[in-house]
Amino acid sequence: MIIRIVGEGQYEVPESFYDELNVIDNKIVDLVSEGNEEGYKSELAKLIESIKSCGSQIDDAEIVESDLIVPPEDLTFEEAKEVFKGEGIFED
């Protein structure tokens, strides 16, 4: 699966990590809906770090369609309310 982290490039992540990343995504959705900005920022950083650690970065010169797009770590809490709702960015 190809995941783009906005502003940081694309990562090829094994499908076996999908469920683990989805759990973090669902937690972010819950934190945003609860209004927990501090928890949201922490979990978004964890999601991005998890993608980087379990995936391998794709060379910027290579053109590959992304399966998922993850917002940057500096996404504001207000912006997060539009992104992390419903099922989040990972479909259950």
2: enclosing H helix or E strand? strand 2-5
Q: What is the pLDDT of residues 50-87, one digit of tens each?
A: 999 999 999 989 989 999 999 999 999 999 999 999 99
Q: What is the DSSP letter of 12?
A: E
C-alpha to C-alpha distance for 61 and 41, rounded to whole angstroms: 30
If you average pLDDT over every residue of the chain, what do you get?
Answer: 95
State residue 13's pLDDT score: 97
The residue whose two tokens read 């979990």 is 43
Read off the tokens for 1. 């699966």
Say what the pTM is: 0.93
Q: What value does the mean pLDDT take over residues 85-90?
A: 93
- Amino acid identity at 28: I
b/e code 53-67 from CB counts within 10 Å (16+ = b): ebbeebeeeeeeeee
Q: Summarize pLDDT for 33-48 with one digit per residue, the tens.
A: 999 999 999 999 999 9
Is residue 92 pLDDT above 80, yes or no?
Answer: no
Q: What is the pLDDT of residue 80?
A: 96
23: pLDDT strictly greater than 80: yes
